[in-house]
Chain A
């Protein structure tokens, strides 16, 4: 069931596909073929595996968060430590694979979009490593709230382009990146950072992140001598989540829960919960659940975490939601902050605000489950980049 998807045209059931201007169709087909060839190429795979081990720092640990579990007084909570990856988040898994692919395809210029800046930093890093020219599109609002990552990208030699159109966030950064790609498609590789966009991106990004779940499954077998009972990961576009979940889809006993950004609460309309409050539509090349008006205009998402501030979600998540295989819940900005503080104080691990959403929900869930149960959280990134946002939210000054 998991092997067969997407189908030859990039569809996950009614979701996914390739809804792009004609100019991009032939390049996307070329990309799909290049990816299929790279997957079969042992040399390519060995090079990627070496980089993931020696450069990105894989495998990442599966860590038993004992004090956090005790505090909740229920199920045992484990953290899949993607925050320990080079550049501080899971994003590097996908970026290394796609940057090697760009090189293999002979494209010397890569472009990317970024929300929180984590994907931008990872792309700039891989570009530095491989000597590629790199330009990163970032919404103007995100440029302001993620200044640290903007500077990191510049230090790495990337050019950061602030996007002033629309809602000035991730959605608009993707629009601008796609406009750049339409213009420079013959020379440029678009290094998309989430499990969305036109086929083959959702599949390719999933393939590259599924190392998270493969490791977690092996580690759980070693530590627990069985599979975990529940997986919990935050979902914006859904790349870290599909990476953790994918290998477990066939394991019917494992509950799989995606946590969406509830922002200021679903009822306020200021959130990013496209599964909970969206409708089926087409944005950025694929069909999925979207936050939109009755007229089909895309709504502005809101989340305290820039990386989850997106009005859509990856098509594979939409498919497994409709199938009832994945559950989706939402966690508000305030709850995510509580998750952030709890993990920081009890474990000395400062999570990214994105990942703090998963922590917050897992804590709630753990309280309702017995001690014999095990929850694995996809801890997608570390929180250094968010310290000033947290300070502001808590009404405190830095320094």
Chain B
């Protein structure tokens, strides 16, 4: 059983849902990323997503795009992020999932990426522009190395596609809440519960929801229907605002604690029963 599986099993047993914060690795520096991840784990992050920047992030909105540009300027790359993860493993055992695009992975080498990631202490990877149909070359290397590949399910995914995604995904399923790019939104999509319900019907695998989730209130709403909430742009924007400030790590830590709070309240509702 992988560290991701254990984490979600433990949370389920406690009636908790996961908080999954996202950081762009290398923003503002890889050393800061290291401190931020340790602090996030300390303040209640259950899984941490680390973005490996790509020059052409077509699924990302302006906030994560800007972070990627800063991270590339700071020298972030697949090998440097993996070094950072290896160093992090001396300080935390929080599950770590890399989030990136196919080209940097391909350039590093599919086999090398899978093996080096696992050796460094990475638990999973999400390759945004690699749908199940194109996944075989990397998936076979990931399976051999013991790296969990997480796939995204979108509001446009048809039922057969959701089944395919559920079959291929390891660790959890990343439910993209909306049709659009990453970034904060005022409201959660009205049909989110329906979408999660459609995924639940074909799998018992944990479902985490991301895209457009930025406030404790929105996290609480996600927590009522899903196993976890992924928060990206709101955290990245805070990192951007506090970069260079001595309070960076503490301010981000406080925000993460606020986001986690509503997910600690045990659920005795239909959502829990639906998972059984």
Residues of A within 8 A of B (CB): 9, 17-27, 165-166, 171-172, 175, 178-179, 182-186, 279-285, 290, 292-298
Contact = CB atoms under 8 A, between A and B. Distances in A.
A183 B183 CA distance: 12
Contact of A183 (B72, B102, B151, B179): B179
Contacts of A23: 59, 154-156, 176, 179-180
A296 B129 contact: no
9 contacts: A17-B134, A19-B134, A23-B59, A23-B176, A165-B65, A171-B56, A175-B58, A298-B55, A298-B56
Given A175-B58, A294-B107, A282 B129 contact: yes
A290 B72 CA distance: 19
Contacts of A20: 129, 131
Nearest to A183: B180
Contacts of A19: 102, 129-131, 134
B131 A296 contact: no
- Which residue among B103, B106, B153 has the maximum number of chain A CB atoms within 10 Å of its CB? B103
B151 to A, nearest CB: 7
B103 A282 contact: yes
Given A18-B134, A296-B107, A166 B161 contact: no
A171 B55 CA distance: 11
B105 interface: yes
Nearest to B60: A179
The interface size bin for chain B is 35 or more
B106 A166 contact: no
Given A19-B129, A21-B59, A183-B181, A282 B156 contact: no
Contacts of A178: 58
A166 B56 contact: yes
A185 to B, nearest CB: 6
Interface string B63-105: 0010000001000011100000000000000000000011111
Given A26-B158, A296-B108, A298-B56, A21 B180 contact: no
Given A19-B134, A27-B156, A166-B55, A182 B103 contact: no
A184 B101 CA distance: 22
A182 B180 contact: yes
Given A166-B55, A182-B180, A295-B77, A9 B133 contact: yes
Given A21-B154, A23-B179, A292-B103, A284 B134 contact: no
B23 interface: no
Contacts of A9: 133
Given A9-B133, A21-B129, A182-B180, A296 B156 contact: no
Interface in B146-174: 151-158, 161, 165
B107 A292 contact: yes
B131 A18 contact: yes
B83 to A, nearest CB: 13
B179 A22 contact: no
Contacts of A294: 107
- Which residue among B107, B152, B157 has the maximum number of chain A CB atoms within 10 Å of its CB? B107
B154 A296 contact: no
A285 to B, nearest CB: 7
Contacts of A24: 156
Contacts of B179: 23, 182-186
